[in-house]
Amino acid sequence: MHAPNMQVEHIRCVVAYASDIIFSGVSLNPHRRKGVKTASLSLDHSVWFHRPVRADDWLLYVIESPFAGGGRGFVTGQMFNRKGELVASLTQECLIRKPKPQNQNPKAKL
């Protein structure tokens, strides 16, 4: 299904939003393998569009995290269209923290 009336800016917004959904999780993968529970949030997320992109077609999203440490992760990505052309380059820095333990027996505060 092609969306002919969708403006280029709207399509780019959809792609940028969708690219952020799993991005920071890549820097958490080594911690998950060790059984460590972590949480993350985006500090910054940048997208450079090199070619026109369609949000209603197949995109290959290649993601890697060359660094994670000191409570931060750095992630890079590339998006390719169906023809194998690079359509976007992406970077993100994320904050990584261990969640605070939940109090098993909370006391009522009266």
Residues 19, 24, 92, 104: which is the catalytic one? 92
**pTM score over 0.85:** no
From 5-9, 39-43, 103-107, the region with the lowest mean pLDDT:
103-107
Query: Is the model's pLDDT at 88 over the cut of 90?
Result: yes
Q: Is residue 24 annotated as a catalytic residue, yes or no? A: no
Q: Is residue 7 annotated as a catalytic residue, yes or no? A: no
Q: Which fold has domain 8-97?
A: Thiol Ester Dehydrase; Chain A (3.10.129)
Sign (positive or negative) of CA dihedral 50, 88, 80, 68: positive
Residues 19, 20, 46, 57: which is the catalytic one? 20
